[in-house]
Amino acid sequence: MQMALVGVSKSCFLFSLAFCSLLLLLIPALQSPTSQLDAPQPRPQIKSASAKQPHHADLPAGTVSAGGTDSAAGLSRSSEVQGTPVRTEIPTPKRTVDGNISGPRPTDKLELKDIFIAVKTTRKYHKSRLELLIQTWVSQAKEQTYIFTDGDDKELQVKSRTNIINTNCSAAHNRQALCCKMSVEYDKFIESQKKWFCHVDDDNYVILPSLLRLLSSYHHSQDIYLGRPSLDHPIEAAERVKSDGTVSVKFWFATGGAGFCISRGLALKMSPWTSLGNFITTAEKIRLPDDCTIGYIIEALLEVTLTHTHLFHSHLENLQKLPVPTVLDQV
């Protein structure tokens, strides 16, 4: 009897061991994989915006302009402009040398009446230059074209029925006279409430449909400065400061001899240095002509990049080298 009880006890003990071992093996399999669910996720990276680069645009539009004096042809300048602040990288459109745009960009539904075309001239060129312009492209845009001169000409006013404005500036072709006329041009544009300001000289021929197409590919509320430099590098100028000394400034400018255009959004930002005669003061500060001063205000002070376009042309070029099929696409 005792031997039977001992055998039963041993059997129960062995069974208990086997059952416990089985439970130990099953417990890990029954647990939920919480460690996998709580794994940390990588944080998004923040990148700084890339440095401002020159813009290039050759969009189908234009004016063939051949003339004007390139007042800064012999200058070169190097200035240090503060870099743009670091910010979260946001995809933005990029302009290539061919003018193609990658990425979405707001455009304008423009009409010719939205453009303010300023023609700079002088009294002695009224017959030799202005009459030819009035007979050709200006006749197609009389309401949009404003001729800025330095003397009254009632005969031309009656004959042409165009907007001829006597700036009362000097007829001399020097820095002070040129900046005086540009100052009046700017103020008249701001008064006009038009969307685009385009400046040309009195020996430029403007192809109006091409100009309209070019500007329509941008939006007037953006900061747009369109033109063609006469140099292959920025110019360098000495900026006079109130304290005894100068600071070197470096910037691109669009030569007035080829013409340039500025959006209204950007023009309004130029006001502290340009409106109500301030343009003349700004020009004296760097002692440069009108087109250079425009570039100084936009690039050096406002830090807006000039958009280079090969569709504008000046007297410095041989226009006979243009392929004939592309002539009407120029500005």
Q: Say whether 297 sits in a helix, a strand or coil.
A: helix
DSSP characters over 252-291: ----TTT-EEEEHHHHHHTHHHHGGGHHHHHHHHHT--HH
Rounded distance, CA 106 to CA 109, Å?
10
Q: Which residue among the candidates 58, 201, 290, 291 is catalytic per the annotation?
A: 291
DSSP-derived pairing of the beta strands 260-263 and 196-201: antiparallel
Burial of 171 (0-12, 13-18, 19+ CB in 10 A): exposed
Rounded distance, CA 329 to CA 172, Å?
34
What tokens does 88 get? 């979260």
Determine contact, residues 220/114, Cβ cutoff 8 Å.
Answer: yes
Q: Which residue from 153, 120, 64 is spatially nearest to 290, judged by alpha carbons?
A: 120
Q: Which residue from 195, 168, 329 is spatially nearest to 265, judged by alpha carbons?
A: 195
**Residue 232 known to be catalytic:** no
CA dihedral 258, 148, 290, 225 (to 10 degrees): -50
Rounded distance, CA 48 to CA 242, Å?
34
- Rg (alpha carbons) of the chain, rounded to whole number: 35
Residues identified as active-site: 291
